[in-house]
Amino acid sequence: MTAHPPLAGRLDGLLFFPVTAYAPDGTVGLEAFRAHVRGGIEAGAAAVFACCGTGEFPALTPGEFAECVAAAVQEAAGRVPVIAGTGYGTALAVQFARLAQEAGADGLLAMPPYLVVAGQEGLLRHYTELAAATPLPVIVYQRDNAVFEPATVVALARTAGIIGLKDGLGDLDLLQRIISAVRTEAPGEDFLYFNGLPTAELTGPAYRGLGVHLYSSAVFAFAPEIALAFHRALADGDQGTVDRLLDGFYRPLVELRNQGRGYAVSLVKAGVRLRGADVGEVRPPLSEPAPAHVERLAELIDRGLALAAAAPGA
């Protein structure tokens, strides 16, 4: 087996969060999922984050989760790392983490604990126990009921096995204080930061101003051409292309996404279907986008593809 460098050194590029495919009878469609993952890797994904938010982690049974993570690992075949989601309370999060380890995952994205709004001490204990449960490196996802004070993130950064923080909160003041605190109080830790907001490209320029270059791209799941063109332009300082894609595609997409609850997942899945992949609908409690919104999404994809094709280097 080929030895790979540590996970932190392999997360350089666009991070792909595949949707989970379902067959007409409601079961997981593993072959469609495999094709979706394979297509993303071939399109240029730097990593696959399987069974995370976009992949409807809360809708999967442990058995389905294990099958999907294993399928993603097999499709990646070591070319890119596979990071699996985990979540719920500590005991279940540990169970999913161990299933991910057995399936061959390279790391974990730890989503917020289920339901409870815990204090900082409880959150720290939760993630510390999760990190100790397997040898897999852990990225902690800040959002919803898991919001951290800078001192807590310093403690997380000092915890063996925890390698980064994905920010889905969008409080740049807090994030700047977190980054500063870790930099000054845990200077020896090579800690990673990710922009984890839905449609992260919209806030990409702002996050880069804080030194946060890594981000998850939901758009990559259904339009890798657009996502790659934006990523390239942002990295190259091509402000003209960045602005054209923001104005012509990403801002209208976010405005469309905001018209329905759960659209951060269901609209993405509709986009994957529009591009020809038979991945099925979302599972409840999510619901499908309104037909008019899917029509609008199709229009935006066409516009975004035209903008991407006109970008330098396309």
- pLDDT at position 220 is 98
Q: Show the low-confidence residues of the chain (pLDDT under 70).
A: 1-4
Number of neighbours of residue 109 by Cβ within 10 angstroms: 28
> CA 267, 273, 278, 280 torsion: positive or negative?
positive
Q: Is 88 labeled as catalytic in the residue annotation? A: no
In the chain, where are the structural domains located? 12-224
Q: Is 166 labeled as catalytic in the residue annotation? A: yes
- pLDDT at position 6 is 87
- pLDDT at position 231 is 97
Angle at Cα 125 formed by Cα 124 and Cα 126, nearest 5°? 90
Catalytic residue among 166, 215, 250, 269: 166
Q: What's the predicted TM-score (pTM) here?
A: 0.96
Catalytic residue among 22, 141, 207, 215: 141
Q: Using a pLDDT cut of 70, give the percent of the chain over it.
A: 98
**The CATH fold of domain 12-224:** TIM Barrel (3.20.20)
Least Cα distance to 73 among 127, 167, 161, 1 occurs for 1
The tens digit of pLDDT for each residue in 105-151 reads: 999 999 999 988 999 999 999 999 999 999 999 999 999 999 999 99
Here the tokens at position 219 are 């758009």
